Amino acid sequence: MTQGEQTRLDGGPNASSAQPAQISRPATKRTQLITLLPTKAGADIATIGDRLGWQPHTVRAGLSGLRKAGHHLEKVIPGPGKATRYRIIASQAAAPAGSDSHGG
């Protein structure tokens, strides 16, 4: 090995110029759930379960988790015999800075 090669291997100028590889992570289930809900029609529990591979009780728990995280969900009851649909109408992050719901 030459001196120049040792410099690169030991963290010389050529070693520091390399950028670490960006690893893209798949979207989380919560993120996928959030993307299903902001549409005008929203989504029903069966559709959400099919898309995410969740059972109905897990879908309901996920919706509760979104509420606890500050998302405002609307429950839409389309009519007799039709499935109840849910959609996000607002989130705490999207609310103006001075508009908290604690009344203080």
Taking the model in full, what pTM does it have? 0.62
Do residues 95 and 81 lie in contact, with contact meaning Cβ atoms separated by under 8 Å? Answer: no
All domains in the chain, ordered by first residue = 26-94 (1.10.10.10)
Q: What is the pLDDT along the chain (104 residues), one digit of tens a residue?
A: 555 555 445 555 555 555 666 777 678 888 889 988 988 888 999 999 999 999 999 999 999 999 999 999 999 998 899 999 999 997 655 444 444 444 44
The candidate with the shortest Cα–Cα distance to 74, out of 90, 98, 93, 97, is: 90
Q: Decide if 85 contacts 78 (C-beta within 8 A).
A: yes
